[in-house]
Structure 1
Amino acid sequence: MRDFGVGFGYLLRGQKWVAGHGRWFGFGLLPGLVTLVLYVAALTGLGYGADDLTAWATPFADDWGSPWQGLLRGALTFLVFALGLFLAVITFTAVTLLVGQPFYESLSEAVDRDEDGEAPESGLPLWRELWISARDSLRVLARVALYGILLFAAGFIPVVGQTVVPVIGFCVSGFFLTEELTAVALQRRRVEFKERLGMLRGRRAAALGFGVPLVLAFLIPFVAVLLMPGAVAGATLMARELNGETPAEDADEAGAPAPRRTDADSRLG
């Protein structure tokens, strides 16, 4: 539980960092707003079409009497929409980070400079960084899709499918959400995808402490946009620890005051 608290502490510290650096907060909102419009439209369409999709997928239940047909299709409709949310949370971050790559790179660098006066650079051209980010996001999506299919199938198990499976889904989403966010800082340090996964598996509880609360918050669409700048800032602080640049943080440090304002803000004017 302590390591879970450490991860949550990094999330809070990131939000406090952007609250103390208001220009960076506004700067980091722009990519999320663009992505939000697209995702709200997609989830609205799914919400209207989930019933029809469930009915099409279960023709064997057409002759079932009440209440069994309604119970089956109601449960499956819930699972379809839950799966859509599950994928939306992960892909929202990936798409937002891809759209806002220059924005979040700059924000992450500002956090690094605020910590020790310098920010590691990958030395790669922007097009190459975008390609690596897109490639790694597809790797994450493939893993999430596999877990999603397995969890969807497990959703048919009575009781377990409506209780345990959603909890596991949130944990899977939280872990990979943390990977996506810490990747912003770790890619600048030339840390490869498999190595990043290894780092997070070694600190699984901390990764869940950072990612699961975000997943829950991201279920409210506009909250996802508001929290993204602070999530990138907090993930940068967490990445510094994962990479051995700073000692492990105590969960209590989440209550520490926001970092002082430095020259990092001058880059925005």
Structure 2
Amino acid sequence: MSALREFGSGVAVLGRGLRLWGTSPRLMLLGAVPALIVGAVFVALLVLVNGQADDLAVLATPFADRWPEWGRVLVRVGVGVAVALLAVLLTVVTFTAVTLLVGDPFYERIWRHVEQREGDAPADVDHGFWRGVLRSVGDSVRLLLATAAVGVCLFVGGFVPVVGQTLVPVLGALTGGWFLAVELTGFALDARGRSLRQRRAALAANRWRTLGFGTATWLSFFVPLGAVVVMPAAVAGATLLARDAAGAQDALARDAQVRQGGEEALPPPSSRRRPNEDRQGRGHRHQP
């Protein structure tokens, strides 16, 4: 139940981002423009790939040609679903990375607006335009490779009857949601000096909340024009998610330093004496 509550709180974070459409509509409209342009291209590519899913399923399962019809259909439906899921998984993560790159000035304004509204915003650090672009591209490529590796595993799972039609789509949504959350929190966590590995560690500390936010964002992209409306809200929600994750990680680090400092301040156990032993000598207790 605790995991479900955390998952629900992650979904609510996306809802908080969507509220910006009511409070800052002009800013959100600016953020919707890059998503609209990039989304049109990616939807066309996705339709093209998914239109070939059945043919690809037949090519990938020649061993099922002599199976009974029900078995052949079941396996090929699973493989077709896996092909479509792999294409969707790669498309959504790539779409997010490209949209953030193309719309960087707009999404940076949304991120900064949320930071300033919430207070305790990180200081502006100018890393240089090209250095920032190269770092963003590098992180996106690494995320895309990780997504492709997981997607291939899900594709293989599509060959398993029943599992390929039930469990694999669920795992695909959770996986896609996780990678979306890592990608979208880049603005806020980069500003706090977190590398890609540190971003993943910060989000993993509250995995179910991250999955709730990312999965809700992932599913909303499949609603007509959902990506256009949700993309700027997802940047705002990811900022809130990143602030909480970074704050919790910093608090744990401070607690660890305090505990370590306290332990170092004490003498070794072998050198400690009881108060009564200091008065009467080692091995003798004070008698009232």
Give TM-score scaled by structure 2 length: 0.80
Q: 2:107 aligns with which of 99, 104, 109?
A: 104
**C-alpha contact 2:203 2:242 (8 A) present in aligned 1:** no
Q: 2:234 aligns with which of 226, 231, 236?
A: 231
Per-residue deviation, residues 93-145 of structure 1 (Å, max 9, x unmatched): 11111111121112101111122275532321122111111111111111111
**C-alpha contact 2:86 2:151 (8 A) present in aligned 1:** yes
**C-alpha contact 2:74 2:161 (8 A) present in aligned 1:** no
Q: Distance in 2 between matches of 1:150 and 1:234?
A: 29
Structure with the bigger RCO (C-alpha within 8 Å, sep 6+) is: 1
Per-residue deviation, residues 37-69 of structure 1 (Å, max 9, x unmatched): 111110111122222222222333445563444
Per-residue deviation, residues 11-31 of structure 1 (Å, max 9, x unmatched): 111111232101111110111
Identity rate, percent: 42
Give TM-score scaled by structure 1 length: 0.85
State the one-letter code of the partner of 2:25. Answer: G
Q: Distance in 1 between matches of 2:133 and 2:161?
A: 43
Per-residue deviation, residues 231-250 of structure 1 (Å, max 9, x unmatched): 101111111111218999xx
Residue 183 of structure 1 pairs with residue 186 of structure 2: yes
Instruction: Measure how far apart 1:150 and its partner are.
Output: 1.0
1:57-136 → structure 2 map (5 Å cutoff): 57-64=60-67, 66-116=69-119, 118-136=121-139
Comparing 237-246 with 191-200, which one deviates more in the overlay?
237-246
Comparing 208-217 with 48-57, which one deviates more in the overlay?
48-57
Question: What SS class does the counterpart of residue 69 from structure 2 fall into?
Answer: coil
Larger Rg: 2
**C-alpha contact 2:18 2:230 (8 A) present in aligned 1:** yes
Question: What SS class does the counterpart of residue 16 from structure 2 fall into?
Answer: helix
Q: 1:30 aligns with which of 30, 33, 37?
A: 33
State the one-letter code of the partner of 1:168. Answer: L
Q: CA RMSD in A?
A: 2.2
Gaps of 5+ in 1: 249-269
Q: 2:217 aligns with which of 214, 217, 230?
A: 214
Gaps of 5+ in 2: 252-288
Residue 47 of structure 1 pairs with residue 55 of structure 2: no
Aligned position for 2:271 = none
Comparing 202-211 with 218-227, which one deviates more in the overlay?
218-227
1:150-165 → structure 2 map (5 Å cutoff): 150-165=153-168
